[in-house]
Structure 1
Amino acid sequence: MREDFLHYLWKFKKFDSLNLKTAKGEVITVLKIGDYLELSGPDFFNAHIEIGNQKWAGNVEIHLKSSDWYLHNHENDPAYKNVILHVVWENDTAIFREDNTEIPVLVLKDYVEKEIIENYSALVSPKTWISCEKQLKDVDRFVFASWKERLFLERLERKSKFIYDLLEETNKDWEAVLFCLLAKNFGLNTNGNSFLQIAKSIPFSIIRKESFENENLEALFFGTAGLLNVEKEDIYFKDLKFRYFYLLHKYQLERTFVEPLQFFKLRPDNFPTIRLSQLAGLYHKYQNLFSKVIDLKAVDSVYNLFAVSVSNYWIDHYQFDKESPKKAKSLSKSFLDLIVINTIIPIQFAYSATLGETDIENLMDFMNEVAPEKNAVIDKFNSFGIKSKNAFESQTLLELKNEYCNHKACLKCGIGVELLKNN
């Protein structure tokens, strides 16, 4: 038994509400269950309940055992002073207010049908990849579609927290926020944190000033990444190293050290040397990238805007001192799809939210144009008959798996609630 199941029972009145009595035999009439806010403090706020002949307005607290009240130290928390009913599964001790009056208790298990408990157990108990995998494809399409929209919004809100943190760190400079976000996502999963550290280590005002010389940007990026710390005979390497130390002196920058960049198991086109050169090329090409990114509405416009390649040296190199066959190494469409998903859509959402102008419909339309991600989670959903046609659908499935299924949060999930209701 889990406490969230008791929340579900109370929220949807899945109990015999016509014959309720307190543990001491007083008749209970629930006039209003209260607002389920999922914040700190009591579980349901502003409930209206009649106990005996007395009407009460206040809060409802729910626990598996009544003794959990003391286990959670509610007796010392002023937020619980207005609790008018204690709803529990097991009543193992009496709970008293500050004035020594006892808080009425409703033992919920006495009023819940056995079938509801069995259906809940059947939903959350199986040791499978996700609890509802055998029933998922049979969920009402309208319910599933509505829940996907909610998941998409939740995912963007969660990603926005990171963006707002960057906004504070950069003194509300949206260009600098975009630079940090792009750097992180140019590094992909393997080098994302290191790339973010690089971006944070270089004041964006310097990026602005030096963007007119691509070699200076590469010198800053490669130097901060620690890739210029050794000695090599390569002429371009020596030039970048000279530029890097000149720029350190020019701007009175301290040398910083980031997490070592990883090359192992990466495809050559994803080597950090290539991605850093492409990032430098992007900021050499555009001095005001943020305004352009905010105006993007379709995936083709992204491909056009981000049509950048590596500098001349990296056309026939993947690492310093090692020549390779010539290749332009432009940003691929599959890579730019990830940039749309992880950078462009989140920063558009976060920026518009600060203006109070969020248009989730347009963002959904944008994502519907983008190809879905390819990973083990999406493949697994596909095996259950849930196929992702675009990035909107794959993103919502990732949110569903990571934020709900992995935590067995079936009773907070629109799909789980629907399945339990149908059962």
Structure 2
Amino acid sequence: MKEDFLHYIWKYKKFDTLNLKTSTGEEITISNVGQYTELAGPDFFNAQITISNQKWAGNVEIHLKSSDWYVHHHEKDVGYENVILHVVWENDAAVFRVDNSEIAVLELKDYVDKETLDNYQSLVAPKSWIFCEKQLKYIDDFTLKNWQERLFFERLERKAKPIFDLLKDSQQDWEAVSFILLAKNFGLNTNGPIFRKIAEAIPFSIIRKESFEVENLEALLFGTAGLLDSEMEDNYFKDLKFRYFYLLHKYKLDKSCIEPLQFFKHRPDNFPTIRLSQLANLYFTHQNLFSKIKDLKSLKSCYDVFQITTSEYWKNHYQFDKESPKKNKMLSKSFIDLLVINTIIPLQFAYSSSVGKEISENLIALLKDIHPEKNAIIDKFTSFGIKPLNAFETQSLLQLKNEYCNKSRCLECAIGMELLKKK
């Protein structure tokens, strides 16, 4: 048993509250369990309790064993002087305040019914993937749908935090922040962190000034990535290299040392050369991209803005100096879907929050038009009977797994709490 189960029992009064007595036989009446807090200090503040006809207002501390009071050194902490009731599962020691007055103890194990205890034991039984995997399919649709929406916005709030951090560093330049985030997501999982470093190494003011010549944008991106460091006979390579060193001199930039990009195990259309060229063409096509991103409301409008291909050279190349059959390498709809999920929606959420605009329904509607994501986590949920219909539901499930299941936060989860009520 864990202490958070006792927090749940006390907070929601999941025990017999009519015949309560302290460990010394005094009658207890609970008017208010108090305000639950996860900060330092007692677990519940401002509770209102009557003990043997004496009304008390103060704090409640909860432990598995009453002796934990001394294990945690509360007897030396004045922050626990206002504890009016010590709620425990097992009372194995008397507890005293600093002034040697004894604290009333409620031993919960005598007041929790077997069904609640059995449901808890079932919920936290040894897991193979998540605790409730065998019970998930019995959760009613209403509980699941409401919880998914909460999970989705929790995930968005987590994604928004680094956006606000970047805004501080860029003097609130949303265009610059968008460039960094888009660059990262153009690099996908393998090259994403390196693409972000490339974007951060180039002041966005330079991207703005050079966005009218796509070759200059490619020179900056390829050069910063270290892809122009060698010597080749390829004329396009030579031209980009000349442009890059000219731009370094023009803007008095230091040559960045970026770790090597990964080509291995990528499909050719995902080679970093192709993605960098597409990114350059995106900013060549849209000089004020964020001003368009923030107002996108439909998936079609997203596809229209990101209808981008590579420069002409890369239509018959995947690497410098190695010609290949010609192919118009447009951003695929599935790739744009990833940009919507991981860049556009977080940016819209962060921006709307910063200006006090409510767009929650728009964000949900946009994600519901995108096919469900495919990955190992979603496959697992599907095998347990939770089959997502769209990206809104897959994003919610990813938040559930990463922030609740992986951290054993069952008693903070709507699904876990619902399972505790099951008969």
TM-score by length of 2: 0.94
Secondary structure in 1 matching 2:63: strand
Report the CA distance between 1:273 and its aligned residue: 1.0
Query: What are the within-5 Å matches in structure 2 for residues 119-268 of structure 1?
Result: 119-268=119-268
Residue equivalent to 1:347: 347
CA gap of 1:35–1:338, structure 2 versus 1, over 3 A, is: same
Q: How many aligned positions are there?
A: 423
Residue equivalent to 2:281: 281
Report the CA distance between 1:214 and its aligned residue: 0.9
Secondary structure in 2 matching 1:404: helix
> Residue 353 of structure 1 aligns to which amino acid in structure 2?
S
CA gap of 1:65–1:251, structure 2 versus 1, over 3 A, is: farther
Q: CA offsets, 1:318-373, max 9 Å, x none? A: 11111111111111000000111111111111111112223312211111111111
Query: What are the within-5 Å matches in structure 2 for residues 91-130 of structure 1?
Result: 91-130=91-130
Query: What are the within-5 Å matches in structure 2 for residues 322-401 of structure 1?
Result: 322-401=322-401
Report the CA distance between 1:235 and its aligned residue: 1.7
Q: CA offsets, 1:60-110, max 9 Å, x none? A: 222223344444455566654443322222334444444443333322223
> Residue 103 of structure 1 aligns to which amino acid in structure 2?
I
CA gap of 1:209–1:80, structure 2 versus 1, over 3 A, is: farther
Q: Is the 8 A contact 2:119 2:421 kept in 1?
A: no
Q: Relative to structure 2, which stretch is displaced further, 76-85 or 2-11?
A: 76-85
Q: Relative to structure 2, which stretch is displaced further, 26-35 or 79-88?
A: 79-88
**Partners in 1 of 2:393 and 2:30 — Cα distance?**
40
Report the CA distance between 1:24 and its aligned residue: 3.4
Residue equivalent to 1:16: 16
Aligned residues: CA RMSD: 1.9
Residue equivalent to 1:299: 299
Secondary structure in 2 matching 1:47: strand
Report the CA distance between 1:147 and its aligned residue: 0.7
Report the CA distance between 1:197 and its aligned residue: 1.1
TM-score by length of 1: 0.94
Secondary structure in 2 matching 1:340: helix
1:404 aligns with 2:409: no
CA gap of 1:64–1:294, structure 2 versus 1, over 3 A, is: same
Q: CA offsets, 1:19-50, max 9 Å, x none? A: 22233333221111122243444322322122
Report the CA distance between 1:136 and its aligned residue: 1.5
Q: CA offsets, 1:277-329, max 9 Å, x none? A: 11111111111111110100010100000111111111111111111111111
**Partners in 1 of 2:36 and 2:22 — Cα distance?**
22
Identity %: 69
**Partners in 1 of 2:92 and 2:139 — Cα distance?**
39
Q: Relative to structure 2, which stretch is displaced further, 247-256 or 34-43?
A: 34-43
Residue equivalent to 1:61: 61
Report the CA distance between 1:421 and its aligned residue: 0.4
**Partners in 2 of 1:253 and 1:4 — Cα distance?**
54
Q: Relative to structure 2, which stretch is displaced further, 401-410 or 370-379?
A: 401-410
**Partners in 1 of 2:302 and 2:268 — Cα distance?**
23
Residue equivalent to 1:31: 31
**Partners in 2 of 1:290 and 1:100 — Cα distance?**
64
Q: Relative to structure 2, which stretch is displaced further, 122-131 or 284-293?
A: 122-131
Structure 1's unaligned 5+ residue stretches are: none
**Partners in 2 of 1:98 and 1:256 — Cα distance?**
61
**Partners in 2 of 1:248 and 1:78 — Cα distance?**
62
Q: Is the 8 A contact 2:43 2:62 kept in 1?
A: yes
CA gap of 1:19–1:318, structure 2 versus 1, over 3 A, is: same
Report the CA distance between 1:233 and its aligned residue: 2.0
**Partners in 1 of 2:212 and 2:61 — Cα distance?**
62
Secondary structure in 1 matching 2:406: helix
1:317 aligns with 2:317: yes
